[in-house]
Amino acid sequence: MDPGVRKATIRAMSHSEELLAQVAALPALPGVYRYFDAQDALLYVGKALNLKRRVSSYFQKNHGGTRIGHMVSKIVRMETTVVRSEAEALLLENNLIKTLNPKFNILFRDDKSYPYLKITGTQGAHTRGDAPGQVFPRMAYYRGAVDKKHRYFGPYPSAWAVKETIQLLQKVFRLRTCEDTVFANRTRPCLLFQIKRCTGPCVDLISPEAYAADVQHAEALLRGETQELLQALEVRMMAHSDKLEFEQAAEVRNQIQALSRVLHQQSIETVDDKDVDILAVRVQGGRACVNLAMVRGGRHLGDRPYFPVHVEDAAAVYAQEEDEGIDAVEVIEGENAAPVQPARPVEVLVLEAFIAQHYIGVPVPPLLVTSVPVDKALLDALTEQSGLRVHAIHQPREQRRAWLDMAQKNADLQLARLLAEEGSQQARTRALAEALDLPPEDLDQLTIECFDISHTAGESTQASCVVFHHHKMQSSEYRRYKIEGITGGDDYAAMRQVLTRRYSKVVEAQREEGGIDYAKSPEAQAAARPKGQACLPDLVLIDGGKGQVGVAREVFTALGLDLTRIVGVEKGEGRKVGLEELVFADGREKVYLGKDSAALMLVAQIRDEAHRFAITGMRAARAKVRVGGGQLEEIAGVGPKKRARLLQRFGGVRGVASASVEDLATVDGISRELAEEIYKALR
């Protein structure tokens, strides 16, 4: 393309001169780039072997009304990071995606870390003077960061898989599971010894050497060395027999029998594969599911589904990139232009995104069995990151084929379940919009906030606000409000306070921008408001009848807000579920939706969630006050450890309040001066 024509095309995109100059100055090196919009929200994270070519290609033409055109039109700022290799770029790209949640990238959200089976202590000879966890290692369920002080096996797909493995090892090798504090203070064996699930090391019913051998055998089973383990046990049994140690030989024989039963019952495979991850992907209806099945030590431990977000937006951008030679092949001008490769299927994009993001914080096994082929560059990056050669096969045979077929079937089932649930939830949203005459367009953006008040006889009054949009509850946007300065039990005053606190800041922010635009959607409001600030929802649900709705009307009138947004949920006759009526603040007649109404089901779902959230907050606040945490926390110099010592010594806040200065000063860490401060504060 002629440089003059290109320059004119770029200027036609209506981007700032500063941004275009930044694009023109990019180096021809590998790196990662980030696009931001006017609200400084991250739009997209991408990687490139040649930053200058890749980023320039976004601004060389008008992409029209496509999704990539929609994204490019929003770009106002860009950041880039130069790296040394494609593998480093891939790892940085997916770290940023997982951390920053850009809108136009496929994103997998992991709600929790994976569990492990932990065996305490390190390998090696130990003496009686060592800690119990070293001399007689303990098996335990563990979730969190691993360290070198202990041995970890896993990760496992679920807590159930870890606990089931612990029970297996208890049956065969009878290792202890009790805490070190319990272990150190036992004077007689516990019930686990009686039912032959522990060898009783707490009361020296087994020697450290014999126990260490059991630990080694348990670890061999966890590593999948089943045949070697059975052979070693047989050799050990025969050695005891040759020495005429028939009781010890019988014990080893029992272990062999128990292990053989477990291997049969658990269907532990004797194939060469010890640690394998099986990954199956399914895409349908704009949603995707990646089902991860884990094989550890030859045992199939179960599976776990993952559902990414932003699939449609990201897939459209990736497809557009590949159509234009932006992603699959770098654009090279002149006679040596490279041919454009065909676009990769969405399933491949989803699975590669999962692999790149998932194994950032989880150990990668040496073999991945996948339902679709993955890029070799991705495997090379995993190899570089883990230091372990990682292979992938997508057309397996025999046992691997059986594993993959099972994972694929589970992916299909999980995605079908998700689509059914989402379809039901969307139907409820649509039914509510129709019942309340709300605009039927763009129901994904319909935002509802619901308020509830909770207290116990006026004590620890709390108000809750829960948020619903995109057809589901948004727990990250929930808020609790501590209600103060009112008469205990006055729910009307509590509702007035929480609504005023919630929406007065919204009104102030909107007025600074030139008034409240009721036609503006909550999403548009959210984009324009400072991060963390509430916006005006489409619907405000009040858990209450005419009285509570009247309070909401007063607050909204004082703030100059639209009364049609207020809807109260009034209990029906006898407070029976399904007989609720909707009460309006703008003078409309009550509406009874019917006990089988999908709209009422959604209203009840949101109302019940607000009630649950309010009750849990109220109970926590009440418990905090009753145990004295709240009063003691307010005293300077009394931290968590000192507070715990005080409460333990005197049996609660009342005991601390009734103690003398001399008694308080006897507590470890409490000086005479601090004791006097505590005495004065609690009296």
Confidence of residue 204 (pLDDT cuts 50, 70, 90): confident
Percent of the chain with pLDDT over 70: 81
C-beta pairs of 177-186 under 8 Å, 24+ apart in sequence: 177/138, 177/139, 177/140, 178/138, 178/202, 179/138, 180/120, 180/131, 180/132, 180/133, 180/138, 183/132, 183/136, 183/138, 184/132
CATH of the domain at 649: 1.10.150.20
| Pairing outcome for strands 276-284 and 287-296 | antiparallel
Average pLDDT rounded to a whole number, residues 554-578: 84
Confidence of residue 328 (pLDDT cuts 50, 70, 90): very low
- What pLDDT is stored for residue 281 in this prediction? 94
Pair 563, 522 in one domain: yes
Pair 594, 633 in one domain: no
Percent of the chain with pLDDT over 90: 11
In a domain, 223, yes or no: no
- What pLDDT is stored for residue 447 in this prediction? 92
pLDDT tens digits for range 163-181: 888 888 888 888 999 888 8
End position of a domain, from candidates 61, 82, 100: 100
pLDDT at 290 over 90: yes
Give 506 or 572, the one with higher predicted confidence: 506
Distance CA 502, CA 448 (A): 14
The size of the chain, in residues, is: 683
Confidence of residue 64 (pLDDT cuts 50, 70, 90): low
Confidence of residue 278 (pLDDT cuts 50, 70, 90): very high
End position of a domain, from candidates 75, 100, 125: 100
pLDDT at 329 over 50: no
pLDDT tens digits for range 600-646: 889 989 999 998 888 887 666 655 554 444 567 667 778 778 887 88
Q: Are 452 and 479 in contact (CB under 8 A)?
A: no
Distance CA 93, CA 107 (A): 12
What domain range includes position 553? 443-624
- What pLDDT is stored for residue 555 in this prediction? 92
In 3D space, the residue among 582, 589, 540, 543 whose CA is nearest the CA of residue 563 turns out to be 540
pLDDT at 339 over 50: no
Confidence of residue 1 (pLDDT cuts 50, 70, 90): very low
- What pLDDT is stored for residue 88 in this prediction? 82
**Interhelix angle 208-222/159-173, nearest 10 degrees:** 140
Give 413 or 16, the one with higher predicted confidence: 413
Give 317 or 575, the one with higher predicted confidence: 317
Pair 392, 518 in one domain: no
CATH of the domain at 405: 3.30.420
pLDDT tens digits for range 388-410: 889 999 888 888 898 899 999 99
Distance CA 176, CA 121 (A): 13
Give 575 or 6, the one with higher predicted confidence: 575
Confidence of residue 91 (pLDDT cuts 50, 70, 90): confident
In a domain, 151, yes or no: no
End position of a domain, from candidates 76, 100, 124: 100
List the beta bridge partners of residue 118: 140, 152
- What pLDDT is stored for residue 334 in this prediction? 41
Pair 575, 521 in one domain: yes
AA letter at 412: D
Residue where the block lists tokens 């049609």: 564
pLDDT at 352 over 80: yes
Question: Which secondary structure element, helix H or strand E, spans residue 280, and what is its range?
Answer: strand 276-284
CATH of the domain at 560: 3.30.420.340
Average pLDDT rounded to a whole number, residues 66-85: 84
Query: What's the chain's average pLDDT?
Result: 79
Distance CA 583, CA 550 (A): 10
Give 652 or 218, the one with higher predicted confidence: 218
In a domain, 570, yes or no: yes
Pair 604, 652 in one domain: no
Domain tally for the chain?
A: 4
